[in-house]
Amino acid sequence: MPSVYLQTFGCQMNAADSNGLAHQAWSLGCSFTETPETADILIVNTCAIREKAETRVYGRLGQLKSLKRPESKLLVTGCLAEKDRAVMRSKAPWVDALLGPREYGAFKALLADWGVPTDLPPRDTPLQMPSSETLDGGADALEYSHLRSLVSITRGCEKFCTYCIVPYTRGPLESIGPEEIESQVRREVRCGAKEITLLGQNVNSYLYEGLNFADLLRRVGSIEGLERLTFLTSHPHDFNREVVDALAEVQNVAPRLHLPIQSASNEVLQAMGRLYTVEEYLEKIAYFRERLPGWALTTDIICGFPTETEHDFEATLELVRRGTFEYAFIFAYSPRSGTPAATMTPQVEPQERLRRLQAVNSAQLDSSRRFHERFIGETVRVLSSGPSKKDAAKMAGKTGHNVTVVWPRDERTLHQAFVDVAIDQAHSWGLIGQVA
């Protein structure tokens, strides 16, 4: 049976799609390998959100060209496959096939073309992905990867923020029916998932035959055995009080909200096509803070968007300095050809974008550290990710707030999903403690 090498770039959406592709290949009898040299089929699931993401993908495709056996097949999937469909043939002519994010229905037929028999009885053993990290204690990365699971609730996005490539690569918004979502969540929980993340580019735009996101949260939240429920990403235009009220009701929802602001200047927000003002954003989070005290609010920020002035940038910096966010993902603007922002004038110089990014980043690190300091002396419940990648003598995991926690490895907690950790140190990246 053919063996498959699968590498994923990009966001959780891509991770969820990779999981779906892996299941399809597995059900046809394929096995998986971590070494491209031995694979019969290589799949690279790609991202195109910023130039850096594309550069990394093309770099990897170049490496795979020389690593793979000449007769093995190379499939490129994901957002870059869609975006660079017309140029991939000249940029990476050794790629054998492309499938964009809306074409995974054609995956099995492609495998059949490549000689994978599709008429065998489906196999019913659970998917086994390779793990290079089998450890002496018998625990391996596989054991932990099952604890968290991603479930898509929408496909595509039609917000067309002026900087963003996603609506072009993933197409228009579609909501998945609640029964299908619930049955996937149940299946994941049966297979050992403790934390489920409901995924969509804008989960607040979920709508299926009159059922909205708040309704869906209540339904999924009541599934038995589900310990931690969370969701990504919310859009400030569509996020509303009804969602906050549902979050306050659902018992097992994790205390965190990711609500990307992008900028704290109304002029910039308007140029981005974000459909809200700073005042509206602040009003929404004021209600959120009032109803859900103690939650972590995280955000995305773009620095150096075209037309952003020093004054605009200062407004964003000031909002971050005030400790508005517990954590932020901060990006330098990256022009994406074909999007309206790429041709807006004036563009901010790349050097200046970077300077602004670093200033916002350092303000956020201070804020994150202050947030983490509040946990010193407390015992937190951590969902384990297993032995730390950086230091196998340590264990790592995440709290409900999504804060990273590290503690010394011990046999007792090696196989536990949830571990109680008494916190004694706080850093901007997270917390250190001892098993309680």
Residues forming contacts to ligand F3S in the complex (CB under 6 A) are 10-11, 13-14, 47-49, 78-79, 165-166, 169-170
Q: Provide the binding-site residues for ligand SF4, judged by CB under 6 A.
A: 157, 159-161, 164, 166-167, 201-202, 235
Spatial separation of the C-alpha atoms in residues 57 and 259, rounded to whole Å: 28
Count the site residues for ligand SAH by CB under 6 A. Answer: 17
14 or 252: CB nearest ligand F3S: 14
Q: 167 contacts which partner out of ligand SF4, ligand SAH, ligand F3S, none, CB within 5 to 8 A by kind?
A: ligand SF4
Tokens, residue 268: 């910039």
Q: 333 contacts which partner out of ligand SF4, ligand SAH, ligand F3S, none, CB within 5 to 8 A by kind?
A: ligand SAH
Q: 160 contacts which partner out of ligand SAH, ligand F3S, ligand SF4, none, CB within 5 to 8 A by kind?
A: ligand SF4
CA 252, 254, 255, 259 torsion-angle sign = negative
148 or 336: CB nearest ligand SF4: 336
Under the binding rule (CB under 6 A), the answer on residue 284 touching ligand SAH is: no
Minimum distance between the CB of residue 325 and ligand SF4, rounded to whole angstroms? 17
Which residue lies nearest ligand SAH, judged by its C-beta? 300
Of 77-136, binders to ligand SAH (CB under 6 A) are none
Minimum distance between the CB of residue 138 and ligand F3S, rounded to whole angstroms? 34
Q: Which stretch binds ligand SAH (CB under 6 A): 213-221, 330-338, 368-376, 384-392?
A: 330-338
Minimum distance between the CB of residue 37 and ligand F3S, rounded to whole angstroms? 26
40 or 82: CB nearest ligand F3S: 82
Given a contact cutoff of 8 angstroms between Cβ atoms, the answer to whether 74 and 99 are in contact is no
Spatial separation of the C-alpha atoms in residues 233 and 431, rounded to whole Å: 25
Of 89, 14, 9, nearest to 53 by C-alpha is: 9
Spatial separation of the C-alpha atoms in residues 220 and 48, rounded to whole Å: 31
Minimum distance between the CB of residue 365 and ligand SF4, rounded to whole angstroms? 24
Q: 169 contacts which partner out of ligand F3S, ligand SF4, ligand SAH, none, CB within 5 to 8 A by kind?
A: ligand F3S
Minimum distance between the CB of residue 141 and ligand SAH, rounded to whole angstroms? 26
10 or 304: CB nearest ligand F3S: 10
DSSP state of 342: G
Given a contact cutoff of 8 angstroms between Cβ atoms, the answer to whether 247 and 253 are in contact is yes
Collapsed DSSP state (helix, strand, coil) of residue 387: strand
Under the binding rule (CB under 6 A), the answer on residue 399 touching ligand SAH is: no
Minimum distance between the CB of residue 148 and ligand F3S, rounded to whole angstroms? 18
Minimum distance between the CB of residue 201 and ligand SF4, rounded to whole angstroms? 4
Spatial separation of the C-alpha atoms in residues 32 and 5, rounded to whole Å: 6
- Taking each helix axis from N to C end, the angle separating 350-373 and 310-321, rounded to the nearest 10 degrees, works out to 10
Can you tell me which of 148, 235, 372, 398 binds ligand SAH, judged by CB under 6 A? 235
| Number of Cβ within a 10 Å radius of residue 70 | 5
Minimum distance between the CB of residue 143 and ligand SAH, rounded to whole angstroms? 30
DSSP state of 204: G
Given a contact cutoff of 8 angstroms between Cβ atoms, the answer to whether 266 and 303 are in contact is no
CA distances 123 to 16, 127, 128, Å, are: 21, 9, 12
Minimum distance between the CB of residue 152 and ligand SAH, rounded to whole angstroms? 13
Which residue lies nearest ligand F3S, judged by its C-beta? 10
Under the binding rule (CB under 6 A), the answer on residue 300 touching ligand SAH is: yes
Of 174-233, binders to ligand SAH (CB under 6 A) are 201-202, 233
Under the binding rule (CB under 6 A), the answer on residue 164 touching ligand SAH is: yes
Q: Helix and strand tally (H, E) in the chain?
A: 15, 20
Collapsed DSSP state (helix, strand, coil) of residue 327: strand
Residue located via tokens 């050794």: 94
Buried-state track 274-295, b at ≥16 Cβ within 10 A, e below 16: bebebeebeebbeebeeebeeb
State the number of CA atoms in the 13 A half-sphere of 54 facing the CB.
Answer: 19
Q: 205 contacts which partner out of ligand SF4, ligand F3S, ligand SAH, none, CB within 5 to 8 A by kind?
A: none
Tokens, residue 45: 């699931």
State the number of CA atoms in the 13 A half-sphere of 368 facing the CB.
Answer: 20
DSSP state of 137: T
Residues that bind ligand SAH (CB under 6 A): 49-50, 163-164, 166, 201-202, 233, 235, 260, 262, 300, 302, 331, 333-334, 336
